[in-house]
Structure 1
Amino acid sequence: MRNRRLVISAALVAAGLGLVPATAQAAPAAGNPDLGITLDTYATTAHGIVLSYGISSAAAALDVTIAWGDGSTDKATAAGADHGSSAHTYAEVGSYTVTVTVKDTTHDLTAVKELKTVTAGAEFTPHAPTRLLDTRSGLGAAKAKVGGRGSVALKVAGAAQIPADVVAVALNVTVTNATEAGHVAVQPGRKFVGAVTSNLNYTAGQTVPNLVIVPVRDGHVQMFNGGWAPVDLIADVTGYFTASAAGGYTTLNPVRAVDTREGLGAAKGQVPGYGTFGVDIAERHGVPKGVTAVALNMTVTNPQEAGHLTAYPSGQAAPSTSSVNFAAGQTVANAVIVPVGPDGKITVRNGGWKPADVVIDVVGYYSRDSRAALRPVDEPFRLIDTREEAWFRKAGQVPARDFLALPLMGDSPKPVDGWVLNATVTNTKGAGFLSVAADPNTWPDYQKGIAVKPPRPVSSALNWTAGATAANLVQTSGGKGDVIDFWNQGWEGVDVVVDCLGFYESD
């Protein structure tokens, strides 16, 4: 069998990423009827493109000038009919007009052709938490449960002042009123084309949220109920991505900002029912001043009754949305992206009637000074399912107090800035939690047997109880070699499933 080393760049091509469908043909110039230009561009990175050009011409000395649309130019020469290519990296993501000028120095003739191109990367604009979908009330869709193996299309572009050219959206998706177990998959587009991944899992009677970052296609996203019984679906927007300068992402090693059990970052003691507290974000925990939004993992534990938490910018009234839902006695985590208030703070509200403890880990932030832009995959795809054999490991659970090292880029010379993943733990026999962190080794280190054992993380990405299947969105660095560790912090083996939703690049 050939080496099946996973190289994400190849997988992304298979998933439909990378090509910018743009071609152009110049008209012939008088005096040299063969003189003409064809242009084509395709994306190579979040900010980079390659321009391919073809020149038709009689035998003549030609000067070629490429104006990239951002004030910079490249020059080349040709002798008659020729073709070539040139790469360029833009300082900012966006839409640009590339102009190619070919001058026939023999006949003193010039041909010019323009081509519009859009970078593959998109930057983040925070949005005050706003409900876009609630099938219980008929908001955003029909007032009816989504049937078993059924789906609902949610219009995102133009809703709640989200722009028409939105590339991807950050949604907190919640399933409720379930009568049987199942899962929900969120996909791009208005038309359901089949889901091979999942975003959240539920059982009868549960209310389960999860953050998703999903591409928008034809102005819509699609939500598929993978269960056999009807459920209600809720979706709250917290931000969106466009191919225009806004906020880039900076990933951080997870750092604990709040733990009410210890009095870290907030008063020691449970948050009272319907109580609120502020969290200092800017200029703490590796987050600079002036950030527009922060990426967090929010965990509720020891709740005395069912309820929910809501995180929102300081200085605003509490929205009618939720960030984390919980049952009495449950420990549950959810990733959230929260706009940061002008004073550098966010507010957290306990929406339940009884007290609960809150734990918050900071995993990254968005700011105008951050350069890494999102490249969402056209269709989410599965990276690993430990229940099945993979190219780098046999099928089998991740042992207790051990980790799964997941290689993402093989021998790629330059790792990306961050990964957007959905992690799921299943076949659990006891309670535990999952930690996700960048591995300090490269994959060749593992292949050569020289890898050092990574340190055990102290933060959590998701929590589970015996028999539960739990999922959460994870935004993480891949370290120096794009190897990510998934630590089973429980005392029993578990299966781990990881789906790729996209990645951040600064080039």
Structure 2
Amino acid sequence: MRRSVSFGTVVAALLAGVGATAAPAYAAPADLFVNNAVVCSDAGPGSQAQPFCTLSAGAAAVTAGQTVRVTGSYAEHLTIAKSGTAGSPVTFRPATDGDTSLVQLTGTSAGITVSGQHDVTILGFQIQGAPAGPAVNVVNSTRMTIERVELLPLDSGSAAAWAGVRLASVTDSALNKIRVFRDVNPAITLDAATSGVVVTSAYIAVSNTARHPGGIEVLGPHNTVVRSAMLRPVGTGILVAAEATGTVLASNIISTAGGTGIDNSGASGTAIANNNVANPCGAGIRVSGASSGVSVQNNFVYGYGGNSTTCANGITGVGVGVYDAAVSGTTVDYNTVRPNPGKSPYAWTTPVASLAAFRAASSQGAHDLDSTDVNANVDSGNAAAPGRQLDYYGKSPVDDPEVPNTGSGPVTYADRGARELTMAPSAELTITQKPGGEVTVDASTSRPGWLPITSYTFDFVDGTVVTQATPVAHHTYADRGLHQVEVTVKDDNGDQGIQVKGFVNGDGYVPVSPVRVLDTRAKIGVGTTTPVEPGGTVTLQVAGSNGLPATGVTSVTMNVTVTEPTANGFLTVYPNGQFLPNASNLNWTPGLTAPNLVVVSVVNGKVDFHNTSSGTVHVVADLVGYHSAVGGSVFVPLGPVRVLDTRAKIGVDTTTPIAPGGTLTLPALGGNGVPATGVTSVTMNVTVTDPTANGFLTVYPDGQALPNASNLNWTPGLTAPNLVVVPVVNGKVAFHNTSPGTVHVVADLVGYHTTGAGSVFHDRSPFRVLDTRSGIGADANTPVWPGGWLDLNLMSMAREGATAVILNVTVTEPKASGFLTVTGDFGHEKPNASNLNWRPGQTVPNLVVVPLNPVNGTARFYNTSSGSVHVVADVVGYYGN
């Protein structure tokens, strides 16, 4: 940013000497530590393991280039009698870099003194109490950096205010982020022998009493910069006395109750630029005496309350006033001046009533404004105004694209006042997971403000923080559970947007060729051929058996079949040792053989099967895969889309049913949304229809030996569906008909597992989300009407990042034959697919994978029957990020 020649010379000199906080180009000596909250010793080495007990011990031991890192509170006065060298100062600061806490100095002796030293940095101290002398007293010193020092009187009713920061005969130094509260007077004092001092980002809120009227006093410094000082005094905010030359007052925020905001009393060469001055009763900016070469530009002077009747008697003042000999050498322009009602906006030797009158009297203020709209300050300042710096927050000029540029200088869109109007970028995150704790955080959809995004900071809230110029970061968490990512996007003006997202680690899927793991008829998985007794529970060990690892298995996928039931009932499959959930997986009537795919969480390496019937039942389970916390593939939901129908030449070249003992091979890759590579398994809803004899269907990987497993069982004339997850080998899957009769087969693809990009699995203990009989998720005792549909709101799961939800869906009390289609609501027509088929009076379950639209999170249930039907749905897990 362009500045005046005299100021630029000053800044160049300061940068050459003040860069005291920059790291040295060579290895610095070891740090020293002071910590009185642990076992410590002033006779020790001052190491982190054995720190000093007092600040005075650290100050006595420190040498050039060393940092004294301090923890705790001290009833001490810190006297620094050691110097550093240029670029390698002695530094006193809190123990941890980036820590915003302050080291506390307390009591009547609290304070900091530096005399006759150079190259010293003081960072992060709070001085409490009521010291007799200045809280920070720096004398005859050079290249001092004092940053983040807070002065906090504990006794606001003391008889006299204490002095704040005093600089006497100090050169080439910097004060930054000084915060002063209550009874401190004056807050900052710079004496006549002080020069080349930069005061930035100070916040000063002294008591609003006549006893303590001081803000900042500049008593004759040369080439001094006071920038970004927040003041609330009753008297003068900043006083520049007659001896001062080359002072810059820029980007300060000053609020006065009855005094003068900025009083340039005879000082020459002062640049007063881009200040906000609020003055309800007193003067805003005053230039008087023998001042010459003074510039007053880009300031915003306004009233914030009070008027001529409420201000104290005798208190007058104007917004911007120039008096005495100062009228011959003062420039006033590009200001916005709006004092309170009853006060004069300007004075040129004498007060005038309007901007027009000021222009007529002074030939000044050609670009001044008297608008009440603060937006008039936007893009209308003079970027070449003497002394102009970064704004109060350290921001450069930014162009508001919706405001005409009416300013001047090297850019025509600099704002007036202490604050530059900017539009911050916003962070938008997409988080994808891989099994094993690896996440990819993508912030590329983040929106820039008025400036491009220049950096992305990813905080994974486990101690890992990464800042980079690109919007995508990868990280692997060491543990499972709830995690959080915080991403900050920032532009080169320091504006930033932050977004935080939480998520839970998900699992990968490992498909296996179907293997029988339970058969109560044949002592597989159990020690007897006894059926499951009424109200009985069978526990099956799954982890560490049948090829599954002993650890990392979070859930298993099994095709479960009940057979030879002696009474009506249903089966619930659930995590071992948990409370029996209000959920079901299979329903039956006496003599029925019924299959259903089950996804169930594994606890203690086991799962439980509970028979709710009043009769016995045999249970068979064929393992087809498992979810793992340490590996596996991810899921991509699709459709549903019909990929096979032997009745209609879909997926085959004929309408011939599968022959007795016959096998049909179906290509599974490279079409219907499934990629040609990387696919480990496909998930399909498979339906058999028009069977001519009893039998069962086995769906298995192409080219493998026919396993001892089944997916669907039927009797002649039955239409039966079941969800199938089958590994893909040679790019194909096979359908084998074990029946002595023919059968037609229909398959609707609902997704696939892949080693590429997709969603991880999150298991859930089964819980009911829909029951039209009882009013869960729908109106009570209101079935889905013929030809109608029901929408189930699963938005809470969509907000969790669910891309697809796994439901065990049961239809009951149907009045006529029909089928149910379950899909996500994406605004499309009902797909040519089915999930459950029934006859009048049947109760039929099936596992369903439903893609979720993230906008509405709706699962839609279509009833194609000519009669009504009740629907029940239990969530068993979801895929998502």
- The answer to whether the superposition gives a TM-score over 0.5 is yes
1:171 and 1:99 map into 2 onto residues whose CA distance is 36
The higher radius of gyration belongs to 2
Q: Which residue of 2 aligns with 1:496?
A: 871
Rate the CA distance shift 1:100–1:416 in 2: closer, same or farther, 3 A: closer
Q: Which residue of 2 aligns with 1:30?
A: 49
- SS of the aligned residue for 2:434 comes to coil
Q: Which residue of 1 aligns with 2:392?
A: none
Contact 1:62–1:78 (8 Å) recurs in 2: no
- Cα displacement (A) at 1:91: 4.8
1:391 and 1:502 map into 2 onto residues whose CA distance is 17
2:797 and 2:625 map into 1 onto residues whose CA distance is 34
- Cα displacement (A) at 1:438: 0.8
Q: 1:247-258 alignment to 2 at 5 Å?
A: 247-258=633-644
- Does residue 508 of structure 2 align to residue 123 of structure 1? yes
Contact 1:306–1:326 (8 Å) recurs in 2: yes
- Does residue 845 of structure 2 align to residue 471 of structure 1? yes
Q: Which residue of 2 aligns with 1:232?
A: 618
Rate the CA distance shift 1:91–1:301 in 2: closer, same or farther, 3 A: closer
- Does residue 393 of structure 2 align to residue 360 of structure 1? no
Contact 2:558–2:598 (8 Å) recurs in 1: yes
2:433 and 2:798 map into 1 onto residues whose CA distance is 23
2:724 and 2:578 map into 1 onto residues whose CA distance is 26
Look up the equivalent residue of 1:92 and give its one-letter code. K
- Does residue 711 of structure 2 align to residue 319 of structure 1? no
Which residue of the other structure, out of 533, 539, 563, is the alignment partner of 1:147? 533
Percentage identity across aligned positions?
Answer: 35
Q: Which residue of 1 aligns with 2:568?
A: 181
Contact 2:771–2:777 (8 Å) recurs in 1: no
Contact 2:435–2:632 (8 Å) recurs in 1: no
1:391 and 1:276 map into 2 onto residues whose CA distance is 42
- Does residue 792 of structure 2 align to residue 406 of structure 1? yes
Q: TM-score, normalised by structure 1?
A: 0.77
Q: Give 5+ residue unaligned stretches, structure 2.
A: 1-37, 40-47, 53-70, 74-92, 104-428, 439-459, 466-476, 482-504
Look up the equivalent residue of 1:201 and give its one-letter code. N
Q: 1:389-428 alignment to 2 at 5 Å?
A: 389-390=775-776, 393-409=779-795, 416-428=802-814
Q: Which residue of 2 aligns with 1:460?
A: 834
Which residue of the other structure, out of 481, 487, 500, is the alignment partner of 2:862? 487
- SS of the aligned residue for 2:546 comes to helix
Which residue of the other structure, out of 72, 94, 117, is the alignment partner of 2:436? 94
Contact 1:181–1:202 (8 Å) recurs in 2: yes
Rate the CA distance shift 1:63–1:416 in 2: closer, same or farther, 3 A: farther
2:851 and 2:783 map into 1 onto residues whose CA distance is 24
Contact 1:132–1:140 (8 Å) recurs in 2: yes
Q: 1:298-447 alignment to 2 at 5 Å?
A: 298-341=686-729, 343-377=730-764, 379-390=765-776, 393-409=779-795, 416-440=802-826
Contact 1:409–1:415 (8 Å) recurs in 2: no
Look up the equivalent residue of 1:368 and give its one-letter code. T
2:849 and 2:759 map into 1 onto residues whose CA distance is 13
- SS of the aligned residue for 1:241 comes to strand
2:623 and 2:613 map into 1 onto residues whose CA distance is 24
Larger strand proportion of the pair: 1
Contact 1:174–1:235 (8 Å) recurs in 2: yes
- Cα displacement (A) at 1:264: 1.6
Contact 2:818–2:863 (8 Å) recurs in 1: yes
Rate the CA distance shift 1:215–1:78 in 2: closer, same or farther, 3 A: farther
2:712 and 2:812 map into 1 onto residues whose CA distance is 20
- Cα displacement (A) at 1:200: 1.0
Contact 1:278–1:346 (8 Å) recurs in 2: yes
2:547 and 2:102 map into 1 onto residues whose CA distance is 52
Rate the CA distance shift 1:403–1:304 in 2: closer, same or farther, 3 A: same
2:680 and 2:669 map into 1 onto residues whose CA distance is 10
Look up the equivalent residue of 2:625 and give its one-letter code. G
1:359 and 1:292 map into 2 onto residues whose CA distance is 22
- Cα displacement (A) at 1:317: 1.1
Please, what is the CA RMSD of the aligned residues? 2.7
Look up the equivalent residue of 1:326 and give its one-letter code. W
Rate the CA distance shift 1:471–1:411 in 2: closer, same or farther, 3 A: closer
Rate the CA distance shift 1:30–1:246 in 2: closer, same or farther, 3 A: same
1:326 and 1:274 map into 2 onto residues whose CA distance is 15
1:124 and 1:181 map into 2 onto residues whose CA distance is 34
Look up the equivalent residue of 2:538 and give its one-letter code. V
- SS of the aligned residue for 1:124 comes to strand
- Cα displacement (A) at 1:62: 5.0
1:140 and 1:284 map into 2 onto residues whose CA distance is 39
Contact 2:540–2:607 (8 Å) recurs in 1: yes
Q: Which residue of 2 aligns with 1:242?
A: 628
Contact 1:433–1:489 (8 Å) recurs in 2: yes
Contact 2:434–2:508 (8 Å) recurs in 1: no
Rate the CA distance shift 1:413–1:469 in 2: closer, same or farther, 3 A: closer
Aligned length: 415
Q: TM-score, normalised by structure 2?
A: 0.45
- SS of the aligned residue for 1:246 comes to coil
- Cα displacement (A) at 1:411: 10
- Does residue 591 of structure 2 align to residue 205 of structure 1? yes
Contact 2:435–2:633 (8 Å) recurs in 1: no
- SS of the aligned residue for 2:664 comes to strand
- Cα displacement (A) at 1:346: 0.5
1:361 and 1:412 map into 2 onto residues whose CA distance is 24
Rate the CA distance shift 1:396–1:195 in 2: closer, same or farther, 3 A: same
Q: Give 5+ residue unaligned stretches, structure 1.
A: 1-26, 34-56, 65-75, 82-86, 103-114, 442-453
- Cα displacement (A) at 1:428: 1.1
- Cα displacement (A) at 1:465: 0.6
1:485 and 1:251 map into 2 onto residues whose CA distance is 16
- Does residue 101 of structure 2 align to residue 79 of structure 1? yes
2:95 and 2:543 map into 1 onto residues whose CA distance is 46
Q: Tell me whether 408-417 or 201-210 shows the greater mean CA deviation.
A: 408-417
